[in-house]
């Protein structure tokens, strides 16, 4: 008994002695000088409060994640003042160089979101940017240069696009594109709302008409066709802000979860014939617990509890806690947020960007949320709800339980922001995942992960041959002495943002037994006992 | 009703002032990209600091400064009724507040809710109304008893039984006002809205509008000329549209001195035990509007006024629970429980805190205590059913939710959770049935898009739709 007590105390001492993983704000020292422009005209027009997103992607194909920050613009053009997106090349030494000028991405748009993938399988990651007045597709020409190919691609979406995701829904080896669209809005139709009865505030979208989201089927040769209506995903009532690609029924075909603002969320099950069936209501993910639609924003899907099934994370409006919908495996999802720390800690936050990632590399997926309210005036009527809100970090303590690790992540992490987009990548090549946050009408924030790589890790980068070149949709499974983990390579998720495509596994102290890749083309590839702490590059077998 | 509180209105030139009346800077809403940032004309704004309040107005000894603007709160409470106020044909009544301010010289300097045409016409549009403002598919008001064409609501403002509503008035006191000033507030009732009375007696559509009406909408213009009135119109009044009487249901009045020149207003509160219900009602009105800051302040005054009144700490806890501050709510619930251990509503909110803590079993026990006293309470039953669902005790949840169905077969929340429970029980047919019923009874969320047009066209109706909104005076000579 006494020995057990001593052992327990020792164990506790060991755990508490380990310094926590912290996040350090390295924005300035990394050379990121971006300032988001929401056009702020003083009229509180709806789009001003929704932008913008950010991306970690490999712009120059050198294996290091670069950064793209999406920008808005002024409502009226001002001669000599240009408000463009910003492209930063990774210098491979912890810093970035601004290569926006002449990159082809140095264009003015009222941009909101970004999705990245190699849609033409030429080995270079291409960029899709959603925007209020019209989305654009940029083909990566190499060497950090991009060409606007929107006009020739057959894509024409000028419907307040927000989040987007590349995925191969028909498994023909070419990446298709889903674009979430928000509402019908124009300056003439802008409505007046007030939180406190005194001054104008940004309106929630109830009174604006929804618009159908788009599904662009990749025809090859750089051409796309609008297949949304035929596929059954073009609901004209939806007011969509987030999209996650997942295979919730484990049939090998990618399904879609679409987060809607004040409209029911949608869960589109892939019928494996080019169409989808909406099953969100019966699955229990469309509404809050009272059967009323919530204000859903960002979203992600992953297996946080080792069940083998992807679960859903949904960021909601303030006074609506996060949704953590556990996939029961029978088509039903049960919201676990109310009974976990997650629910209480997120109740007052208005969450836009949200994703699963293993920030401490202990082998369990944790949760990150980027928060910020729509309106400065909120504090007048709800004293505990703030305009600027710190991010939230939830550590997965096992058995499906989460604990609030935000404070332990350090003072830089706790800085309140008006955050919108969020993405992760290992930008400094040390094995752990760093976080990029975009803020509304403010600077971007790069948070470096310090200390997680005390645990071992494995990163896997895929190169498709028969499947799409980016390996999107491939499932990477890792068997270790501690158990099994898996990730699906995906675009989309979070809010208006794109995380890096390589997947990262934390190993804790476990040893790798094997890595297995299930390619969308059907091939299964296995690597026995790769060494930890490396980036494993795998190319899809040709046959 | 009660003319209960006042607070200062201050200017913040950086903010965009809310448009409350037609023709008053409404063009800003219609401005386009061509209007530059330089054209922005910031106006007055309102910045309330909770605590800078004079209340109750008849006891606080407040003296307003001539030339200042104050925000006066009028509280309307329901008593001894078991239904919402008003009840019945809530699309067709005129029920509204009329608030006036007159100085010692008899000069009218504020009037909201005036009946136009010398008291025989419509109620002015900027008044505070109690009604269900329904819209047809084109955004036209449902004002002809044409409820079958209702497709959306602009707002619903009805006071629940045993509850209160707090209305806000921005009263500018002229620099030349002579004290004392008299504020009056009346709750008025007219059996039918002025438009409907005209329509019923003399409404005839203008010619050539056949395409402007369908089963979903009626966009026609009507004429109400006397010659339209049928000769055999029922009732004793022939040949003219009757003027329906305006009934005064309740009234409040307060007489206040003005501050002498150079003397600032002192915002003081008078905390008297006999006034605890007045503070409470003021707070309930704000709580129902989502003004948690104001509500919490009011309820803390209830505690000060009557420490042995369980609803004081309970209502502070309610505001805190809504804010997500469940930890802060706990000691207040404990305090309420000590004062009145058997009060079911304390146990209900206790359950909400326990649920938020993830302590589902404790929450279930608290709800069962509520149900011992109120076995058919749908709110408690729905919460209990939901908790059992979250615990994956689907069969037990079904048994509870079926009790809700026996009280109200159209209960939305019960249908939703029954659908999920039957899904969990792998009984797809029953799940499908409740899914169908849920979709049938639930509001079509997208129908709110219909409100956009009337909101753009009528700023006063748009203002009235806001959960928290202020009223301004009609133009006075």
Pairing of strands B470-471, B164-172: parallel
Determine contact: B296 vs chain A, CB below 8 A: yes
List the Cα angle A348/B296/B272 in 5-degree steps. Answer: 175
Q: What gap in Å lies between CA A178 and CA A266, rounded to an integer?
A: 13
Report the residue from B293, B455, B469 with minimal CB separation from A383.
Answer: B293
Report the residue from A43, A75, A381 with minimal CB separation from B293.
Answer: A381
Q: What gap in Å lies between CA A81 and CA A110, rounded to an integer?
A: 14
Smallest Cα distance from B376 to chain A, Å: 18
Nearest to A452 by CA among A342, A354, A357: A357
Smallest Cα distance from B207 to chain A, Å: 31
Contacts of A293 in chain B (CB under 8 A): 445
Q: Is the pLDDT of residue B154 over 70?
A: yes
330-389 in chain B: CB under 8 A from chain A: 355-358, 360, 382, 386, 389
304-323 in chain B: CB under 8 A from chain A: 322-323
Find, in chain B, the residue whose alpha carbon is nearest to that of A265: B445
Q: What gap in Å lies between CA A532 and CA A418, rounded to an integer?
A: 38
Q: Are A262 and A240 in contact (CB under 8 A)?
A: no
What's the pLDDT at B32? 24
Q: Do A281 and B46 touch (CB under 8 A)?
A: no
Give residues with Cβ within 8 angstroms of B361, minimum separation 6.
none
Place of tokens 């207040």: B332
Place of tokens 């830089």: A412
Sign of the Cα torsion A261, A263, A264, A270 reads negative
441-470 in chain B: CB under 8 A from chain A: 442, 445-446, 448-449, 451-452, 455-456, 459, 462-463, 466, 468-470
Which tokens is B403 given? 């009790």
Contacts of B46 in chain A (CB under 8 A): 196-199
What tens digit of pLDDT does each residue of B314-348 get? 999 999 888 778 899 999 999 999 999 999 999 99
Smallest Cα distance from A117 to chain B, Å: 33
Q: Do A384 and B468 touch (CB under 8 A)?
A: no
Q: What gap in Å lies between CA B138 and CA B153, rounded to an integer?
A: 12
What tens digit of pLDDT does each residue of B31-75 get? 222 222 222 222 222 334 567 899 999 999 999 999 999 999 999
* DSSP label of B58: T
Quick one: pLDDT band at residue B423, thresholds 50, 70, 90? very high
Report the residue from A197, A208, A384 with minimal CB separation from B168.
Answer: A197
Smallest Cα distance from A237 to chain B, Å: 6
What's the pLDDT at B11? 56
Determine contact: B223 vs chain A, CB below 8 A: no
What's the pLDDT at A7? 42
What's the pLDDT at A373? 84
Q: Do A200 and B446 touch (CB under 8 A)?
A: no
Q: Do B29 and A281 touch (CB under 8 A)?
A: no
Contacts of A237 in chain B (CB under 8 A): 445-446
Contacts of A75 in chain B (CB under 8 A): 33, 37
Q: What gap in Å lies between CA A127 and CA A485, rounded to an integer?
A: 29
Query: pLDDT 10s digit of each residue in chain A, 543 long?
Result: 344 444 444 443 334 456 789 999 999 999 999 999 999 878 889 999 999 999 999 999 999 999 999 999 999 888 888 899 999 999 999 999 999 999 999 999 999 999 999 999 999 999 999 999 999 999 999 999 999 999 999 999 999 999 999 999 999 999 999 999 999 999 999 998 888 888 888 888 999 999 999 999 999 999 999 999 999 999 999 999 999 999 999 999 999 999 999 999 999 999 999 999 999 999 999 998 888 898 889 999 999 999 999 999 998 876 678 899 999 999 999 999 887 788 878 877 788 999 999 999 999 999 999 999 887 777 766 666 778 889 999 999 998 889 999 999 999 999 999 999 999 999 999 999 999 999 999 999 999 999 999 999 999 999 999 999 999 999 999 999 999 999 999 999 999 999 999 999 999 999 999 999 999 999 999 999 999 999 999 999 987
What's the pLDDT at A13? 37
Nearest to A473 by CA among A252, A177, A178: A252
What's the pLDDT at B371? 96
Q: Do A291 and B439 touch (CB under 8 A)?
A: no
Report the residue from B9, B32, B439 with minimal CB separation from A188.
Answer: B32
ipTM of the complex: 0.89
Q: Do B417 and A291 touch (CB under 8 A)?
A: yes
Place of tokens 């390619």: A519
Determine contact: B325 vs chain A, CB below 8 A: yes
Mean residue pLDDT of chain B comes to 90
Quick one: pLDDT band at residue B477, thresholds 50, 70, 90? confident
Place of tokens 């069962």: B368
Instruction: Considering only the C-alpha atoms of chain A, give the largest distance between any 2 of them, rounded to a whole number of Å.
Output: 79
Smallest Cα distance from A376 to chain B, Å: 11
pTM, full prediction: 0.91
Q: Do B420 and A332 touch (CB under 8 A)?
A: yes
Find, in chain A, the residue whose alpha carbon is nearest to that of B326: A344
Q: Do A207 and B455 touch (CB under 8 A)?
A: yes
Query: Measured between alpha carbons, how far is residue A122 from residues A170, A220, A469, B78 in Å?
Result: 20, 12, 8, 71
Q: Do A290 and B468 touch (CB under 8 A)?
A: no
Report the residue from B17, B37, B292 with minimal CB separation from A381.
Answer: B292
Instruction: Considering only the C-alpha atoms of chain B, give the largest distance between any 2 of them, rounded to a whole number of Å.
Output: 77
Give residues with Cβ within 8 angstroms of A468, minimum separation 6.
A117, A118, A121, A168, A173, A174, A175, A520
Phi/psi region, residue A221 (left: phi>0; alpha: psi -120 to 50; beta: rest), is: left
A49, A191, A290, A291: best to mutate for the B interface, most B CBs within 10 A = A291
Q: What gap in Å lies between CA A107 and CA A438, rounded to an integer?
A: 18
Q: Do A287 and B416 touch (CB under 8 A)?
A: yes
Give residues with Cβ within 8 angstroms of B439, minimum separation 6.
A281
Q: Do A264 and B445 touch (CB under 8 A)?
A: yes
Smallest Cα distance from B263 to chain A, Å: 26
Instruction: Please state, for a pLDDT cut of 90, what percent of chain B lies above it.
Output: 84
Beta bridge partner(s), residue A514: A479, A528
Nearest to A495 by CA among A47, A55, A75, A14: A55
Q: Do B419 and A282 touch (CB under 8 A)?
A: yes
Smallest Cα distance from B99 to chain A, Å: 18
Report the residue from A76, A187, A197 with minimal CB separation from B466.
Answer: A197
Q: Is the pLDDT of residue B20 over 70?
A: no
Residues recorded for chain A: 543
Q: What gap in Å lies between CA B291 and CA B5, rounded to an integer?
A: 15
What's the pLDDT at A289? 81
**Span B277-305, mean pLDDT?**
93
Smallest Cα distance from A191 to chain B, Å: 6
Find, in chain A, the residue whose alpha carbon is nearest to that of B167: A197
Smallest Cα distance from A454 to chain B, Å: 33
**Span B154-160, mean pLDDT?**
94
What's the pLDDT at B46? 31
Q: Do B413 and A291 touch (CB under 8 A)?
A: yes
Find, in chain B, the residue whose alpha carbon is nearest to that of A188: B30
A198, A206, A280, A351: best to mutate for the B interface, most B CBs within 10 A = A198
Inter-residue long-range contacts of A154-160, CB under 8 Å, 24+ positions, other chains counted: A154/A216, A154/A219, A154/A223, A154/A224, A154/A225, A154/A226, A155/A216, A155/A224, A157/A130, A157/A181, A157/A214, A158/A131, A158/A133, A158/A134, A159/A184, A159/A211, A159/A212, A159/A214, A160/A47, A160/A112, A160/A132, A160/A184, A160/A185, A160/A211
* DSSP label of A315: E
Q: Where are the alpha helices (DSSP H) in A47-92?
A: none
Beta bridge partner(s), residue A487: A476
Q: In what side-by-side order are the strands of the sheet with A534-539?
A: A503-508, A456-463, A534-539
Q: Which stretches of B158-235 are assigned E, i.e. beta strand?
A: 164-172, 181-190, 204-205, 222-223
What's the pLDDT at A431? 97
């Amino acid at each position: 008994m006494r020995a057990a007590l001593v052992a327990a105390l020792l164990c506790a001492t060991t755990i508490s002695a380990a310094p926590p993983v912290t996040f350090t704000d390295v924005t300035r020292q990394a050379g990121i000088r971006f300032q988001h422009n929401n056009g702020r005209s003083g009229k509180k027009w709806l789009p001003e409060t929704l932008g913008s997103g950010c991306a970690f992607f490999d712009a120059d194909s050198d294996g290091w994640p670069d950064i793209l920050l999406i920008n808005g613009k002024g409502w009226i053009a001002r001669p000599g003042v240009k408000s463009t997106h910003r492209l930063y090349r990774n210098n491979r030494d912890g810093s970035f160089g601004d290569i926006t000028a002449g990159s082809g991405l140095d264009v003015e748009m009222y941009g909101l979101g970004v999705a990245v993938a190699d849609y033409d399988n030429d080995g270079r990651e291409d960029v899709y940017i959603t925007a209020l007045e019209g989305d654009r597709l940029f083909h990566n020409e190499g060497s950090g240069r991009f060409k606007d190919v929107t006009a020739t691609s057959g894509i024409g979406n000028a419907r307040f696009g927000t989040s987007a995701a590349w995925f191969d829904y028909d498994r023909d080896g070419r990446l298709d594109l889903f674009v979430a669209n928000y509402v019908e809005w124009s300056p003439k139709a802008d409505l007046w709302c007030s939180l406190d009865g005194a001054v104008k505030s940004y309106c929630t979208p109830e009174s604006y008409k929804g618009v159908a989201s788009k599904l662009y089927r990749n025809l090859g040769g750089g051409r796309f066709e609008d297949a949304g209506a035929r596929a059954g995903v073009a609901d004209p009532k939806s007011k969509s802000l987030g999209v996650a690609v997942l295979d919730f029924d484990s049939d090998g075909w990618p399904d879609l979860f679409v987060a809607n603002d004040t409209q029911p969320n949608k869960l589109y099950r892939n019928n494996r014939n080019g169409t989808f069936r909406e099953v969100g209501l019966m699955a229990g993910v469309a509404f809050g617990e009272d059967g009323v639609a919530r204000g859903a924003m960002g979203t992600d899907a992953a297996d946080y509890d080792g069940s083998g099934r992807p679960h859903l994370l949904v960021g909601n409006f303030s006074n609506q806690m996060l949704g953590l919908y556990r996939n029961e495996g029978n088509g039903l999802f049960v919201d676990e947020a109310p009974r976990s720390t997650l629910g209480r800690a997120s109740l007052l936050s208005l969450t836009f960007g949200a994703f699963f990632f293993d920030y401490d590399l202990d082998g369990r997926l944790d949760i990150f949320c980027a928060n910020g309210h729509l309106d400065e005036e909120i504090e007048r009527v709800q004293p505990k709800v703030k305009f600027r809100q710190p991010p939230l970090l939830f550590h997965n303590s096992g058995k499906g339980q989460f604990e609030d690790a935000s404070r332990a992540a350090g003072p830089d992490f706790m800085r309140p922001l008006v955050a919108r987009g969020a993405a992760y990548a290992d930008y400094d090549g040390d094995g752990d995942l760093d976080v990029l946050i975009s803020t509304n009408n403010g600077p971007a924030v790069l948070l470096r992960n310090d200390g997680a790589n005390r645990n071992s890790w494995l990163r896997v980068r895929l190169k498709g041959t028969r499947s799409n070149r980016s390996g999107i949709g491939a499932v990477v499974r890792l068997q270790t002495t501690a158990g099994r983990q898996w990730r699906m390579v995906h675009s989309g998720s979070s809010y208006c943002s794109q995380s890096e495509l390589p997947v990262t596994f934390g190993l804790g102290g476990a040893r790798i037994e094997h890595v297995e890749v299930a390619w969308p083309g059907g091939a299964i590839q296995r690597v026995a006992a790769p060494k930890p702490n490396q980036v494993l590059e795998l190319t899809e077998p040709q046959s | 009703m009660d003319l209960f509180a006042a607070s200062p209105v201050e200017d913040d030139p950086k903010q965009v002032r809310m448009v409350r009346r037609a023709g008053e800077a409404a063009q800003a809403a219609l401005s386009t990209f061509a209007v530059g940032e330089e054209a922005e004309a910031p106006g007055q704004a309102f910045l309330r600091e909770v605590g800078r309040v004079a209340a109750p107005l008849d006891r606080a000894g407040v003296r307003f400064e001539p030339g200042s603007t104050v925000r006066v709160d009028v509280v309307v409470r329901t008593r001894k009724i078991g239904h919402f106020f008003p009840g019945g044909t809530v699309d067709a009544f005129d029920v509204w507040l009329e608030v006036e301010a007159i100085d010692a010289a008899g000069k009218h300097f504020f009037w909201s809710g005036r009946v136009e045409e010398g008291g025989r016409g419509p109620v002015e549009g900027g008044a505070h109304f109690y009604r269900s403002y329904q819209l047809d598919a084109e955004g036209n008001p449902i004002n002809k008893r044409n409820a079958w064409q209702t497709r959306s609501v602009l707002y619903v403002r009805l006071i629940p039984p045993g509850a209160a509503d707090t209305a806000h008035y921005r009263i500018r006191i002229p620099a030349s006002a002579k004290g004392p000033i008299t504020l009056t507030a009346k709750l008025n009732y007219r059996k039918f809205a002025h438009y409907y009375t005209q329509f019923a007696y003399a409404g005839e559509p203008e010619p050539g509008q056949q395409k402007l009406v369908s089963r979903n909408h009626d966009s026609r213009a009507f004429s109400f000329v006397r010659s339209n009135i049928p000769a055999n119109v029922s009732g004793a009044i022939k040949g003219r549209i009757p003027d329906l009487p305006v009934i005064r249901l309740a009234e409040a009045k307060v007489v206040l001195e003005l501050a002498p020149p150079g003397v600032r207003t002192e915002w003081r509160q008078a905390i008297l035990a006999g006034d605890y219900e007045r503070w409470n009602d003021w707070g309930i009105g704000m709580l129902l509007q989502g003004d948690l800051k104001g509500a919490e302040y009011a309820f803390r005054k209830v505690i000060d006024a009557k420490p042995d009144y369980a609803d004081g700490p309970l209502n502070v806890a309610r505001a805190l629970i809504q804010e997500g501050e469940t930890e802060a709510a706990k000691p207040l619930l404990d305090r309420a429980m000590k004062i009145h251990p058997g009060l079911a509503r304390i146990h209900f909110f206790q359950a909400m805190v326990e649920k938020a803590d993830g302590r589902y079993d404790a929450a279930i026990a608290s709800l069962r205590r509520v149900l011992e006293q109120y076995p058919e309470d749908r709110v408690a039953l729905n919460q209990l059913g939901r908790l059992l669902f979250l615990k994956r005790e689907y069969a037990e949840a079904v048994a509870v939710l079926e009790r809700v169905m026996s009280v109200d077969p159209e209960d939305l929340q019960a249908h939703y959770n029954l659908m999920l429970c039957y899904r969990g029980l792998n009984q797809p047919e029953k799940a499908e049935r409740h899914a169908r019923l849920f979709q049938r009874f639930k509001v079509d969320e997208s129908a709110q898009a219909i409100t956009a047009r009337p909101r753009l066209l009528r700023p006063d109706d748009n203002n009235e739709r806001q959960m928290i909104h202020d009223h301004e005076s009609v133009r006075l000579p």
